[in-house]
């Protein structure tokens, strides 16, 4: 067995225990469950109930709601009564931040409680009390580690690294094991897909070493919206699903929550079809594979392809460069039905044989729409670029325009953190804590700044995860109170509590003063 995966050359799901969440089971041989989170005020029972119904109608059977205080936890009890009274087959999850006492209160009514270890002093008294509270009603628990909100004691020792995320999770998982508390799910979320994938792999390895089989909840936080958000989610989630990791997934989009469900279902269905894929050659030398840290393969440059060059897309290559395929570099076509594993074995086995030519990956998709193509291609190609194993990609899709194919290709490279060709938005999906109209604000910020390639802007609904989860961003736009915005430069607060009507102009002024602004080119 591979360290974090059941196999590197066959599609096999990682063996996990079955965890019941209300009337739903995840893990084991159960289908991968999809879920979403409401973005309305948890105290507005009618609005939450309506969103829950829309999520369920779309196919999501697990619905999460924020519970940042006692009032919200009490509101969850009212919602739970409404849901059960209507016999809706959904499981309700309380998302708790800051206050361990709120987690204990929420456990009296919901089916699962999600806690962030970063909000606990340690895995002792208050956490152990929560386990006993959950045990009384058979309430499941998600230990949800966030890259941007690790406990100070973890950061002091490990930094805000994948290793630190794993250390945080394992501390709490060991208490669950020692206390014989069984219904546990764990997640390792980040807005940085490379950090997210490395953290999940490391966690799966550590759990295997200690004989743990807890199911995994997968997700990329603050993925944004539109095609960009879908591709970023598919790159991170797909890289893990490809190796059999993941028992439930949430695609976080800055859109109405019910829109997340079809995207998640598409990813689940795409991987469910590859169980009977054609044989793939095993790795000849597994030591060449470095799945826990980014170590790009050292290829020899052929013109602008390979070597130290950024990865290329097929649409930007000249006729001469295309003719060189198969001579000066390797053009690897996928044919097995399990592209990520097939490509990984082909690249690493050629490296083991001393072949250092640049690699361009190629796959044909017979789909009719851009979203389906984006999700499938991102789920296939993403892993290879996250692992630094490829120098370019070619997507073939006869029913999709070359312009869209090129856009999807560049977005895959950007989401994989290997080529920044446009502005990146680290935007949260919103929840009951959101302090302004997130979707509309993100649209305005994109309209004003999308011509600034390589710039990373965080657009966050509140301060709970905002400053931490957007730590990778150059600038941040964070809800600070009703109608008020705080601007960040990296992790530094620049201006506090700006009136919302003035905040976008203030962000542009900040970019100007920092020399990061260029005027938009004139349209012709």
The confidence score (pLDDT) of residue 465 equals 61
Exposed e or buried b for every residue in 380-397, given b needs 16+ CB within 10 A? bbbbbbbbbbbbbbbbeb
List pLDDT tens digits, range 44-94: 999 999 999 999 999 999 999 999 899 999 999 999 999 999 989 999 999
Minimum mean pLDDT among 16-20, 133-137, 193-197, 274-278: which range?
Answer: 274-278
Q: Which two tokens stand for residue 117?
A: 């270890």
End-to-end Cα separation, the chain, in angstroms: 58
Distance CA 426, CA 408 (A): 18
Reported in sequence order, the residue ranges of 131-200 that DSSP labels E, i.e. its strands, are: 140-146, 184-189
SS3 (DSSP) at 100? helix
The confidence score (pLDDT) of residue 1 equals 41
Which one, of 261, 271, 284, lies nearest residue 240 by Cα?
Answer: 271
Which one, of 266, 264, 245, lies nearest residue 253 by Cα?
Answer: 264
List pLDDT tens digits, range 468-493: 667 778 999 998 888 899 999 988 99
List pLDDT tens digits, range 330-374: 999 999 999 999 999 999 999 999 999 999 999 999 999 999 999
In this structure, are residues 112 and 184 in contact, taking their beta carbons and an 8 Å threshold?
Answer: no
List pLDDT tens digits, range 226-240: 999 999 999 999 999
CB atoms within 10 A of CB 452: 18
The DSSP output letter for 32 is P
Would you tell me which CATH number, out of the four given (3.40.30.120, 3.30.420.40, 3.40.430.10, 3.20.20.20), belongs to the domain 19-272?
Answer: 3.20.20.20
Distance CA 430, CA 95 (A): 13
Main-chain phi, psi angles of 106, to 5 degrees? -65, -35
Q: Which helix (H) or strand (E) holds 497?
A: strand 492-499
pLDDT at 204 over 90: yes
Give the full edge-to-edge strand order of the sheet including 392-396: 312-313, 392-396, 359-364, 330-333
Domain residue extents for the chain: 19-272, 286-415, 424-513
List pLDDT tens digits, range 378-434: 999 999 999 999 999 999 999 999 999 999 999 999 999 999 999 999 888 878 777
Q: Which two tokens stand for residue 122?
A: 């340690």
Distance CA 419, CA 71 (A): 45
Average pLDDT over residues 99-118: 94
| Mean pLDDT over each residue of the chain, to the nearest integer | 93
Q: Does domain 424-513 have CATH number 3.30.413.10?
A: yes
What predicted TM-score, i.e. pTM, was given to this entire model?
A: 0.95
Average pLDDT over residues 86-108: 92
Which one, of 460, 433, 430, lies nearest residue 43 by Cα?
Answer: 433
The confidence score (pLDDT) of residue 464 equals 66
The residues with which 499 forms a beta bridge, in sequence order, are: 484
Alpha helix positions (H), 306-431: 319-323, 339-352, 370-386, 402-415
């Amino acid at each position: 067995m591979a360290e974090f995966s059941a196999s590197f050359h066959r599609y096999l799901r990682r063996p996990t225990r079955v965890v019941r969440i209300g009337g739903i089971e995840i893990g084991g041989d159960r289908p991968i469950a999809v879920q979403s989170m409401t973005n309305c005020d948890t105290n507005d029972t009618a609005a939450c109930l309506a969103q829950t119904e829309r999520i369920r109608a779309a196919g999501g059977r697990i619905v999460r709601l924020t519970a940042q205080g006692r009032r919200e936890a009490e509101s969850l009890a009212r919602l739970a009564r409404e849901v059960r009274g209507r016999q809706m087959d959904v499981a309700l999850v309380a998302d708790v931040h800051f206050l361990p006492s709120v987690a204990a209160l929420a456990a009296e009514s919901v089916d699962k409680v999600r806690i962030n270890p970063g909000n606990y002093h340690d895995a002792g008294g208050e956490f152990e009390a929560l386990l006993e509270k959950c045990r009384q009603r058979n309430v499941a628990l998600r230990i949800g580690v966030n890259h941007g909100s690790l406990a100070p004691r973890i950061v002091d020792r490990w930094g805000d690294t994948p290793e630190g995320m794993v250390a945080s999770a394992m501390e709490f998982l060991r208490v669950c094991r020692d206390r014989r508390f069984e219904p546990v799910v764990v997640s390792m979320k980040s807005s940085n897909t490379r950090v997210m994938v490395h953290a999940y792999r490391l966690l799966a390895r550590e759990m295997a070493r200690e004989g743990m089989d807890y199911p995994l909840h997968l997700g990329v936080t603050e993925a944004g919206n539109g095609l960009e958000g879908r591709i970023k989610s598919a790159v991170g989630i797909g890289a893990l699903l490809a190796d059999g990791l993941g028992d439930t997934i949430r695609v976080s989009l800055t859109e109405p929550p019910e829109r997340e469900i079809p995207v998640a279902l598409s990813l689940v269905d795409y991987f469910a079809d590859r169980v009977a894929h054609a044989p793939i050659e095993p790795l000849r030398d597994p030591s060449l594979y470095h799945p826990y840290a980014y170590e790009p393969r050292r290829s020899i440059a052929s013109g602008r392809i390979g070597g130290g060059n950024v990865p290329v897309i097929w649409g930007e290559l000249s006729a001469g460069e295309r003719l060189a395929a198969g001579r000066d570099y390797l053009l690897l076509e996928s044919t097995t039905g399990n592209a990520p594993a097939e490509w990984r074995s082909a690249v690493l086995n050629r490296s083991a044989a001393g072949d250092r030519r640049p690699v361009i990956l190629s796959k044909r998709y017979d789909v009719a729409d851009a979203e389906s193509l984006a999700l499938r291609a991102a789920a296939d190609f993403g892993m290879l670029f996250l692992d630094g194993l490829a120098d370019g990609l070619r997507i073939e899709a006869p029913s999709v325009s070359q312009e869209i194919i090129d856009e999807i290709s560049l977005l895959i490279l950007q989401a994989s953190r290997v080529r920044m060709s446009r502005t990146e938005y680290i935007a949260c999906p919103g929840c009951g804590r959101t302090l302004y109209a997130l979707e509309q604000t993100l649209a305005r910020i994109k309209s004003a700044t999308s011509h600034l390639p390589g710039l990373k802007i965080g657009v966050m609904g509140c301060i709970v995860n905002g400053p931490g989860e957007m730590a990778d961003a150059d600038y941040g736009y964070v809800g600070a109170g009703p109608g008020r915005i705080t601007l960040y430069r990296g992790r530094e607060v620049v201006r506090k509590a700006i009136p919302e009507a003035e905040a976008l102009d203030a962000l542009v002024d900040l970019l100007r003063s920092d020399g990061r602004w260029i005027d938009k080119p004139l349209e012709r």
